[in-house]
Amino acid sequence: MKQTLISAVAVLLTGSMAAQQKPLHSGYPIDPVPFTSVKVTDGFWGQRLRASREVTIPLAFSKCESEGRYDNFVKATHPSDSNEAPGFPFDDTDVYKTIEGASYLLQTYPDKKLEQYIDSVLVLVAAAQEPDGYLYTPRTMNPRHPHDWAGKERWTKVEELSHEFYNLGHMVEGAVAHYQATGKRNFLDVAIRYADCVCKAIGDGAGQLRLVPGHQIAEMALVRLYLTTGDEKYLRQAKFFLDARGTTSRRDAYSQAHKPVVEQDEAVGHAVRATYMYAGMADVAAVTGDSTYIHAIDRIWDNIVGKKLYITGGIGARHEGESFGANYELPNLSAYCETCAAIGLVYVNYRLFLLHGEARYFDVLERTLYNGLISGVSLDGGSFFYPNPLASTGGYSRKPWFGCACCPSNISRFIPSLPGYVYAVRGDSVYVNLYLGNQAELKVGGKKLTLAQETDYPWNGSVRLTVQRGGGDFCLNLRIPGWVRNEPVPGDLYSYVDGKQPAYTVTVNGEPVQADLQKGYLPVQRKWRKGDVVEVNFAMEPRVVRANEQVEADRGRVAVERGPLVYCAEWPDNDFDIHTVLLRRSPSFEVKTEPALAVPLGEIMRLTTEAQALSYDESGRLTTRDVQLTLIPYYAWAHRGEGNMAVWLPIDLRAAQAQTIEGAKQKDNGFFR
């Protein structure tokens, strides 16, 4: 294998530099500011992006190599009855996803060596493509005896296990990113050929097969391909995949095919597939203006944030089927919260913001981003969680890779894309959605604008925005986060115990700004000049969150937040079993930054509070011990070995015991059976 790769790398490649056609408008009322226009400076995200560049992406490529992902393309180039099918029908996508992530990095950090490496990989990919564009190594490598889950013939199992359309989706996503980052078509043209092959075979027309993806993603990818190429056939195909869903032989809730998509109103089934589909619905709705899609995803979003969202912004309560649970079914120890599902939920919320321009979508996005999503990757970028539970009795640690490697490769492509989520523009107004150090080149009302952001967010709430170049008469919309507006999550799934006045200040060149919030944003309308400085300050004292009483797993417990960060109790910071802790009825918290703890968690702030540890003496009497409980940000847990962890902390006796019981299945004391 090594030889093949090396020889491939040897091939000198020059992607055709044919003039890029200007992308079409997405149709969203709000324009994204692409990741290519935002350079993240140092700080919280700078560290994450560096880790992604220096560790995650190289690791992912090396795993693609060592785990045989490239071999599959080589085998497909030389079909044989002796070729063995790979581990999973979607192994090819690990390659596509890593290239996508690498492409985002190339944009920000040009890297000839990396670009050449990718080109060499693309040689292998292109070589595996069949003459009519079909590109699916599990079949091509051994057409006479394809693996069982591939199906005897093309597409025969695409609604179940074969993932032929899923592979197309990630191929297109990666190819478009690579094209936008490098201007080269060597991946894009491969993707277009496979897309054409699918469009030809699948559809409502004569001689076509009416089939929909078993695992969604092609829907949003094909819209992206349409916007990139201008060829409407891809948009039609995306719409077909959505509209045919629930009308083909596949009719189950697991794959969101229990009813036509426009009639759906509850988030059900496999959480990743679901979010990818909702994102695709939003994209098609934006381009076509079809509001029935929008009504459906609005209803589904209400269901998710109102009944199925973890406080960490994670989704998917059940390991079984990697799926959403029933309303309010949000167990902590057995929470699934797949990293990929968190990424999918970011896609959905971002698109709903582009449609509706409301801050609440970014409130959910930020909650997921800072908690349930980045918990999926270690601070050094080298190991990953597949599920992200909210409690642990030990046995959980991040791994460098998985046989089913969707999460690491999804992290590879998501983290580098983060800069694209910071700003958005609508006509002559700018949305500032995320607070992190960066410099951005925007186009507002047709004029160029360079904005700089300086902040230690999420550790403190001070943000300094400077107009570095350009200016003019426009409105700067500053998102006032839900945790400042007393709304941890839209709806009544979670609420702050200590409701208080939203505490924030905004000044322009030192002058206080007074204005009413609009859709969660503070609008600052003025004639901006170079050098104008906006200073934002959000109060950041720790806050106690209570879950809706209908969430059985959280009854009698509370979670603790500071700013956008959800905190948890972990064993290394506490000299007692955290699963025996009981908070005071009205706990107060101290904020501490201690270098002692800084290693290996990086710069973090701990919280401490007076509490009690509960136990029984030999005569079976309950005893209590005063203790100081230390909390760390949830994303930072599991960096110091395996052990107990809990996000929801008992503040009354029932919860104290319930938590013990959850963990006590093995150490049954004789009364929990």
Q: Which stretch binds a second copy (CB under 8 A): 140-148, 227-235, 237-245, 554-562?
A: 554-562
Q: Which stretch binds a second copy (CB under 8 A): 86-94, 182-190, 373-381, 646-654?
A: 646-654
Which of 10, 112, 626, 667 contacts a second copy by CB under 8 A? 626
Q: Which stretch binds a second copy (CB under 8 A): 65-73, 242-250, 375-383, 581-589?
A: 581-589
Instruction: In whole angstroms, give the CA distance from residue 471 to residue 530.
Output: 6
Q: Does 625 bind a second copy (CB under 8 A)?
A: no
- Quick check: 172 and 221 in contact, CB under 8 A? yes
Nearest to 521 by CA among 465, 479, 476: 479
Tell me phi and psi for residue 499, to 5 degrees: -60, 130
Q: Does 500 bind a second copy (CB under 8 A)?
A: no
Which of 212, 430, 627, 651 contacts a second copy by CB under 8 A? 651
Q: Does 667 bind a second copy (CB under 8 A)?
A: no
Q: Which stretch binds a second copy (CB under 8 A): 228-236, 266-274, 410-418, 611-619?
A: 611-619
Q: Does 653 bind a second copy (CB under 8 A)?
A: yes
Instruction: In whole angstroms, give the CA distance from residue 666 to residue 372.
Output: 27
Structure tokens at 438: 């960066």
In angstroms, give the least distance from the CB of 546 to a second copy. 7
Structure tokens at 271: 């959480």
Cβ-proximal residues to 595 (8 Å cutoff; 6+ apart), any chain: none
Q: Does 203 bind a second copy (CB under 8 A)?
A: no
Nearer to a second copy, 16 or 623 (CB): 623
Q: Which stretch binds a second copy (CB under 8 A): 86-94, 139-147, 214-222, 582-590?
A: 582-590
Q: Which stretch binds a second copy (CB under 8 A): 30-38, 213-221, 374-382, 623-631?
A: 623-631
- Provide the residue type at 397 as one letter: S
Which of 313, 556, 563, 643 contacts a second copy by CB under 8 A? 556
SS (H, E, C) 451-517: EEEEECCCCCCEEEEEEEEECEEEEEEEECCCCCCCCCCCCCCEEECCCCCCCEEEEECCEECCCCC
Q: Does 577 bind a second copy (CB under 8 A)?
A: no
How many other C-beta atoms lie within 10 A of the C-beta of residue 298?
16
Number of residues that bind a second copy (CB under 8 A): 36
In angstroms, give the least distance from the CB of 43 to a second copy. 37
Nearer to a second copy, 462 or 550 (CB): 550
Q: Does 585 bind a second copy (CB under 8 A)?
A: yes
Nearer to a second copy, 325 or 587 (CB): 587
Q: H/E element holding 608?
A: strand 606-616
Which of 130, 397, 661, 663 contacts a second copy by CB under 8 A? 661
In angstroms, give the least distance from the CB of 645 to a second copy. 20
Instruction: In whole angstroms, give the CA distance from residue 422 to residue 412.
Output: 19
Q: Does 584 bind a second copy (CB under 8 A)?
A: yes
Alpha helices by DSSP H, listed for 39-145, are: 44-51, 57-66, 69-77, 92-108, 112-127, 137-140
Annotate 425-448 with DSSP letters as a single string: EETTEEEE----SEEEEEEETTEE
Which of 131, 621, 666, 667 contacts a second copy by CB under 8 A? 621
Q: Which stretch binds a second copy (CB under 8 A): 187-195, 198-206, 423-431, 645-653?
A: 645-653
In angstroms, give the least distance from the CB of 161 to a second copy. 35
Nearer to a second copy, 81 or 618 (CB): 618
- Quick check: 249 and 233 in contact, CB under 8 A? no
CA distances 128 to 8, 70, 131, 145, 194, Å, are 13, 10, 9, 17, 11
Q: Which stretch binds a second copy (CB under 8 A): 136-144, 317-325, 571-579, 647-655?
A: 647-655
Which of 65, 130, 290, 652 contacts a second copy by CB under 8 A? 652
Q: Does 670 bind a second copy (CB under 8 A)?
A: yes
Q: Does 549 bind a second copy (CB under 8 A)?
A: yes
Which of the residues 437 through 476 are near a second copy (CB under 8 A)? Answer: none
Instruction: In whole angstroms, give the CA distance from residue 538 to residue 457.
Output: 10
Q: Is the dihedral of CA 215, 220, 224, 226 positive or negative?
A: positive
Q: Does 587 bind a second copy (CB under 8 A)?
A: yes
Q: Does 139 bind a second copy (CB under 8 A)?
A: no
Q: Does 185 bind a second copy (CB under 8 A)?
A: no
CA distances 670 to 551, 579, 661, Å, are 27, 18, 11
Q: Does 671 bind a second copy (CB under 8 A)?
A: yes
In angstroms, give the least distance from the CB of 623 to a second copy. 8
131 burial (CB, 10 Å; 0-12 / 13-18 / 19+) is: exposed
Which of the residues 286 through 305 are near a second copy (CB under 8 A)? Answer: none
Tell me the longest C-alpha to C-alpha distance in the chain.
Answer: 83
- Quick check: 544 and 497 in contact, CB under 8 A? yes
Structure tokens at 382: 């080298």
Which of 106, 135, 294, 658 contacts a second copy by CB under 8 A? 658
String of contacts with a second copy for each residue 519-548, x by CB under 8 A:
---------------------------x--
Instruction: In whole angstroms, give the CA distance from residue 307 to residue 326.
Output: 8
Nearer to a second copy, 516 or 626 (CB): 626
In angstroms, give the least distance from the CB of 586 to a second copy. 5
Q: Does 654 bind a second copy (CB under 8 A)?
A: yes
> At CB < 8 A and 24+ separation, what contacts does 345-348 make?
345/275, 345/304, 345/313, 345/315, 346/373, 346/414, 346/421, 347/220, 347/275, 347/276, 347/279, 348/275, 348/278, 348/279, 348/282, 348/297, 348/301
- Quick check: 365 and 520 in contact, CB under 8 A? no
In angstroms, give the least distance from the CB of 617 to a second copy. 9
Which of 16, 509, 624, 628 contacts a second copy by CB under 8 A? 624
Annotate 534-561 with DSSP letters as a single string: EEEEE----EEEEE-TT-GGGTTEEEEE
Q: Does 655 bind a second copy (CB under 8 A)?
A: yes
Structure tokens at 575: 């000299």
DSSP secondary structure letter of residue 518:
B
In angstroms, give the least distance from the CB of 574 to a second copy. 18
The binding site for a second copy (CB under 8 A) comprises 497, 546, 549, 555-556, 558, 582, 584-587, 612, 614, 616, 619-624, 626, 651-658, 660-661, 669-673
